[in-house]
Structure 1
Amino acid sequence: MALFIGIAALFTLAVLAFALYPLWPARRGLALGIGGVSAAAVLGLYLLLGRPEAIGYVPPPSPQVDQAQQLDQALAELEAVVRAEPANQEARVLLARSYMQLGRPAEAQPHFAEALARDAGNAALMVDYAESLFRAGKPDVPDARAREWIDKAIAAEPGNQRARFFRGILLLQAGQAAEAAKAWEALLPELDRQTAQALLPQINQARVQAGQPPLADSVLPAAMTVQVTVELDPALRAATPPGAVLFVFAKRVDGGGPPVAAKRLPVSAFPVQLALSDADSIMPTATLSSQAAFTLSARISASGSAEAGAGDWQSETLTVQSDKLAPVTLVLRKQP
């Protein structure tokens, strides 16, 4: 603070001396008066508008810096665990996958290799190790070891989707675009529509490189649809509140998060027949087809709000397996 004040004062005096020099030989009193008033004005303006507390201010570390420090600390602790407990497979794999998430595949490789030495038949680890190998290499240079481990993973677990996806990447890297496209195309029927939609552009890029026409969206799996019939308890048919609204929800099995699909319909006649599909999803990242199983329920809301309230009629909650879709009937009953 003192250094800043001293430098500011010297700078102010130097400027005033230069500006008032022509008056000094003939009218020294006037020059001193103008200089004094000017210096006082500069000091007054600084005290009024300046921020002395900003001198020497050190900004707090940004959230990004804090997060990076916390991540480095977590990695260091995990590395210490692996050094102290070499047989701790869970910690070693977590450390290797953390390196992969941070874009440091070369550091992940020895840990994946050691984990594989302790669990030689683990197809998931084979894919992890292969990914670390080819991601650490040059994009245009095929890695024979990565291809070898991917082939081993597929031999150990023929349905492993990650292995088959990375096999397509390695084939494309090796200039075998047609084979890469074929490998990825074989995955399409096994994927949900959202994942298949993300893969299709890569397939078409490989097909174009191979001189083949691109595939149309019609090759994508159909959006998942479940047929729902909502019936009303006979005892309630004469008591349907006017202006009531019917809600039908599909939710995650654990009940967490927003519904994965929902419909809102005005109450008219029962039974009500409808279909819930990915088109009814609330969030594009949480769809019916992304769930291995989900629950279905229906509710009549007297207030018209999606939130449960007094006077609502609720159905039982049914669990549906995505690979065993069948029409579902929900019966609305008055809640106690």
Structure 2
Amino acid sequence: MTEFWLSAGLLLLAALAFLLLPLLRGHRRQQAEQDRTALNVALYEERVAELTAQQAAGVLDLDQLTNGRDEAARELLADTERDDGERQGHLGKVVPLLAALLVPAMALGLYLHFGAADKVELTQEFAKAPQSMEEMTARLERVVQAQPDSAEGLYFLGRAYMAEQRPADAAKAYERAVALAGRQPELLGQWAQALYFAADKQWNAQVQALTDEALKADPREVTSLGLRGIAAFEGERYQEAIDFWSRLLAQLPEGDASRAALQGGIDRAAEKLKASGGKLAVAARLKVRVELAAALKDKVRPDDTVFIFARASDGPPMPLAAKRVTVAQLPIEVELSDADAMMPQMKLSDFAEVQLVARVSRAGQPTRGEWKAQSAPLANGTQATQRLTIDSPDS
């Protein structure tokens, strides 16, 4: 803040210079005008005395004396009016001085009322790395206090509270963020997670409703998938935990540090399922290689969307499992499984026979596009890699 106030002080001095320097110059000019007026009056009096002496000596008669006095008076009046006209272009001393005092005072008052001194200070503070998690949380609290309508600030404050094992505070922050930013799946998932841990890992209707809403809007919402897996594992619903965690695992890139821990959770759930006498359901997996026909390469754009999905041969038309890529990524080989399910209650393994489809959609709509390819019906457990060549108009 020192740099800020120093800069403000320099700007204030510059502003005062514009006000006070003309005042000082005007004062000197006014003094010169007063001296000139006094000189004119003295000259007038001297001229009148000279005319009177000439009349007494018989040089001038009474009419000539009168005419001489009138001429001298007109000259004095003309000089005086000219000086007054010049002075009318100035403000005098009082107004500029008042302006010099009131302008900075008013500016400071308006700045403190409407300005952003606290935000300037926060910006400078965030330029330095925090020394601890507590310091980072304190900064974020000040950000939220300065910008109470910032959903981003509330989101990051919630994350900081979770890192400090303060889930109840995090839940309040996420609730406010949802109220400001809308019911976005990611925010709903974070809110549900905070509520779950704030309730000492007790599942309740609100957590269930929030995760249901998040996964309905985005079946791949990672926080909700992980949370539902945890809740299922704690409730000894091991197959359900495996299903949720497998869907989450499919979204993590290779090399992600979370993959090993997540796979370990899946393995533990599988062991407990077998130990309890349950049978591990084998998830359906299909491998497919998608290519673009040479004749279409000049008719598509690199950023056009390509949807690759499996749908039931005899059942609802909606995709059971899907992936989204672009034309620039073709040719590409992908794997579709229960982890790619669009809805938890409709998985690839729930239908014995499925059909593979690849569709180019410039508008990014999975249900319609410009070009497509589709396979013949096949078993959901087919091991061989299937090949699709996009070459047909999408009717």
The TM-score range, normalised by the shorter chain, is 0.3 to 0.5
Q: Normalized against structure 2, the TM-score is what?
A: 0.35
Larger radius of gyration: 2
Q: Normalized against structure 1, the TM-score is what?
A: 0.41
More helix by share: 2
